[in-house]
Amino acid sequence: MSNWLRRLSRDRSSKDHSDLPMPSRPFSHNVEQSPPQPYKDTQYSSGFNSQDKLQTFRPATSGEAQYSNPPTSTRAPTGGNVDAMNRNITTGLEPTPSPLTKAFNDAIRPYQEQIEDLKVQLEDTMYRLQTLEDERADMHAWIDKRGLRADVPPSIAHAMNTDPTSAQTLNYQLDRKMTVLNHDLHRLQDSLSTHLPTATFATTLAQLIPSIEDLAALPGGPPLAFELLIKLGGNLNSHGGDEGWNNDADAASRADFYTQLDACMMDVVKMRLKESDAHSHAAAEDAAAGAGQGENWQVGRDIKRLDKTGAFLKSKLGLREYFPRSVEIMKRGEGARMERSLPLQGRAQ
């Protein structure tokens, strides 16, 4: 009987020890999610009283770690995160336009097409305009190269006179043309055995008077026109022999020619005095501002010059008057200028 009880107790004890669950080692794929506790036999006591002690040392599996770790934050996603999520979802896809935007785009599409057509037409027009301007510049250069500016029609002359250097260019061409006419008349006179009448020379040279008037109307033109008129009269004086100057017809032709020159010179003198006075006023206010503006005309010097030439022509060629009205205007202008330059006390005396 005692042997039977001892064997029963030993069998029950071995059965209890065999039924105890052994701790299992963690799998490799759960190492990052839940780091396992190192398995050491020394962590367990030699006596196992219950199954609960072993459960406290068992590492959690992947499923258990997922449910055992609570979420770090339970806040709802903000608006920025929602937009980012939506952009990630709709990446590469254009948003659907609203009906109002679609209707607006459809309404302005015809006007946008018209604007594009107008832009193309504007570019074409600008190209044509630039082409015409280049052609006009080439034509003006061709005219100036051949010295024909004085002979062009008024419409072309008006376009050419817009250049700042138009006065100098026209003066050069008129002087050249005057020289060519003078040489042609000299060759004609040398080829003939008789004396050419003075009227022929006067009529030929008088063709330049309208062009000189146009020169005087340009900025900076009056001083140049003044010198051309004096030179034009000198070209007439160089023609003919001594026997020709005693002819009454030649004397009348010379007098008539100088009358035309004097009429043109009167306008030139008035414009030149006006420019000179403007320059004097600007220089009086500010010397720096007056530099380069207009001309400081020495009127008295030119008066003496004309008087000396007139006296020579009267004694040599019998010319009675040499720019008489122009000289009178110059003297009055010089007198008025001298009166303005005097101090107030000097004027009262």
Question: How far is Cα 202 from Cα 254, in angstroms, rounded to an integer?
Answer: 7
Question: For residue 311, what are the CA distances in angstroms to 48, 113, 265, 303, 345?
Answer: 156, 80, 18, 12, 38
Supply the pLDDT for residue 283.
56
Q: 228: pLDDT confidence band, cut at 50, 70 and 90?
A: very high
Question: How far is Cα 324 from Cα 123, in angstroms, rounded to an integer?
Answer: 60
* Residues of the chain above pLDDT 90, percent: 28
Question: How far is Cα 203 from Cα 176, in angstroms, rounded to an integer?
Answer: 18
Kindly report the average pLDDT of the chain as a whole number. 75
DSSP summary character for residue 208: G
Chain CA centroid to CA 308, Å: 53
Q: 98: pLDDT confidence band, cut at 50, 70 and 90?
A: confident
User: Cα dihedral angle (12, 18, 23, 26), rounded to 10 degrees?
Assistant: -150
Q: 296: pLDDT confidence band, cut at 50, 70 and 90?
A: confident
Angle of the 209-216 helix axis to the 248-285 helix axis, nearest 10: 10
User: Cα dihedral angle (215, 220, 225, 228), rounded to 10 degrees?
Assistant: -110
Pick the more confident residue, 291 or 100. Answer: 100
Supply the pLDDT for residue 175.
92
Burial track 120-131 (b if 16+ CB lie within 10 A, e otherwise): eeeeeeeeeeee
Supply the pLDDT for residue 117.
93
Mean pLDDT over 5-22 rounds to 60
Q: 306: pLDDT confidence band, cut at 50, 70 and 90?
A: very high
Tell whether the model's pLDDT for residue 302 goes beyond 80.
Answer: yes
Pick the more confident residue, 64 or 120. Answer: 120
How many CB atoms lie under 10 A from the CB of residue 345?
7
H or E segment and range at residue 84: helix 79-89
Global pTM reads 0.60
Q: 231: pLDDT confidence band, cut at 50, 70 and 90?
A: very high
Supply the pLDDT for residue 3.
67
Tell whether the model's pLDDT for residue 115 goes beyond 60.
Answer: yes
Question: How far is Cα 254 from Cα 246, in angstroms, rounded to an integer?
Answer: 11
Supply the pLDDT for residue 4.
63
Question: How far is Cα 214 from Cα 56, in angstroms, rounded to an integer?
Answer: 121
Q: Which two tokens stand for residue 123?
A: 């570019």
Asked if residues 254 and 319 have their Cβ atoms less than 8 Å apart, the reply is yes
Give the tens place of pLDDT for each residue, 327-339: 999 998 887 777 6
Question: How far is Cα 134 from Cα 210, in angstroms, rounded to an integer?
Answer: 29
Question: For residue 242, what are the CA distances in angstroms to 190, 191, 247, 311?
Answer: 15, 18, 10, 18
Supply the pLDDT for residue 123.
94
Give the tens place of pLDDT for each residue, 168-200: 999 999 999 999 998 998 888 888 887 788 888
Q: 81: pLDDT confidence band, cut at 50, 70 and 90?
A: low
